[in-house]
Structure 1
Amino acid sequence: MKMVYHGEDRVYGNIPDVSARSEDRKGAAAEAGIKRYRLAVVILGILCVIQAAVIIFLLLSLLSERREFERTKLDVEAGFKNLTEEREDLKRKLNSLAQGGWEYFSGSFYYISSIEKTWKGSRDDCIQKGADLVIINSKIEEDFIRKSQKIVWIGLTDSETEGTWKWVDGTPLNESYWASEEPNGGETENCGNTFHYEKENSLNDSPCSMSHSGICEVKVRP
């Protein structure tokens, strides 16, 4: 404010200092501008931090997906290699079976031994060949076996529990092809064979100590 007076009477009065107010307004405006600038800088900094975090997250996710892809690729390649090796091994096995007197029928190879042995001896021979005594799963398979016109040991026994007939893989006998009045040997006849091969249903129970040929089976498909 400026002091104003006139003549000898010295009349005083307050006159607003316009220039001071203008300076105050300019200072306030400058301070507000600085605050806005600082706020903008802070917001920009936060946005940069968020952006950097998002980029880092995306990069980590991309790297993780890449690693997962590489693992999957390696697993697929390993699986393919194993399948190829299994296929080649199966080919060699099939060729060996075909050249060794085995006969193919409906997903399995069969071999009838020329030497007659006990049920256990026949089974041991099959196991040494990488097979086992035959498990009959259907009537057509039983008919196929009957065509040999021989009494052969099959993979059926009730040695563990009398009257409970099981196949050599442990599964129970569900569909049976017993000949009429068979099985009838009780505790003395615990092993199955095709004694009645000339009949529609050929299975028979006999003492396991008897000597017969055995029929081995190797499954090449489920």
Structure 2
Amino acid sequence: MTGAVRREQAEFSMDYVNLPEPPVTTAAGGGDEGNHPAPGTKLLRLVGVSFGLLCLLQAAVNVSLRLTLCEFYTVFQQRYIQQGWVRFRSSVYYISDARNTWQQSRRYCLRQGADLVIINTKEEQDFTRQFHRFTWLGLYYESKTKKWIWVDRTPLNESFWGPGEPNGFEGKIENCVEIRFFEMDNSWNDIPCGDQNYWICEKEVAP
């Protein structure tokens, strides 16, 4: 009797030892993988945070540069305006109170970091006429190319010649241009570059 009990206990013990271990499951079901982030998750988070910080830094730099440029242009414009320059759109202009040849007038403008005025639009043409003076423009006739060009070497596309101009009056070599008929929309006149005239300097100060 005792031997039978012992055999039963031994069989029971062996059966218990040989039972397989139950799998470890999670609430999501699927082993213990849910306890660890997917491969690359930490790297993606780091990249995202770094990109966000770079965006913030770029925005701060842009604001700082904009404020600096605005301050620069304000000081720049005030300095020129205090010296008798006039602001019109994206340029400042200086209208002389003395007369000189075309070449000497241009040299004066260049010393100021400017050049003789270049007229690109009808609005700018109207602006330059309002001073009611015979003034040099930055337009001249280049004998080599036989074309009228501006001092920045751009060709003459839109012109405002007075009636019958340019004409080389009385056979003169008239290779420079002035505003003469300032009461008219078309006010330009060609005259010899060695004549004496007032002049207009132009300098761009903003886009």
Kindly indicate whether residue 94 of structure 2 is the aligned counterpart of residue 111 of structure 1.
yes
Match of 1:136 in 2: 119
Larger RCO, structures 1/2 (Cα 8 Å, 6+ apart): 2
TM-score when scaled to structure 1? Answer: 0.68
Residue type at the aligned position of 1:200: D
Which residue of the other structure, out of 188, 194, 201, is the alignment partner of 2:173?
188
Cα distance in 1 for partners of 2:115, 2:18 equals 97
Check conservation: 2:160, 2:186, Cα contact below 8 A.
yes
Deviation at 1:177, TM superposition (A): 0.3
Which residue of the other structure, out of 197, 202, 206, is the alignment partner of 1:212?
197
Q: Which segments of 5 or more consecutive residues in structure 2 lack a partner in the other structure? A: 1-6
Which residue of the other structure, out of 61, 68, 72, is the alignment partner of 1:78?
61
Which residue of the other structure, out of 91, 95, 108, is the alignment partner of 1:125?
108
In the superposition, relative to structure 1, how do residues 67 and 99 fare at CA in structure 2: closer, same or farther (>3 Å)?
same
Cα distance in 2 for partners of 1:52, 1:165 equals 74
Residue type at the aligned position of 1:152: T
- CA-based RMSD of the aligned residues comes to 3.5
Match of 1:7 in 2: none
Deviation at 1:176, TM superposition (A): 0.8
Identity of counterpart residues, as a percentage?
36
Structure with the bigger percentage of helix: 1
SS at match of 2:127: helix
Q: Deviations over 1:182-208 (max 9, x none)?
A: 122399333222133344311122333
SS at match of 2:147: coil
Match of 1:65 in 2: 48
Check conservation: 1:135, 1:156, Cα contact below 8 A.
yes
Cα distance in 2 for partners of 1:167, 1:66 equals 54
In the superposition, relative to structure 1, how do residues 52 and 129 fare at CA in structure 2: closer, same or farther (>3 Å)?
same
Residue type at the aligned position of 2:204: K
Q: Deviations over 1:140-162 (max 9, x none)?
A: 33233222222211122232754
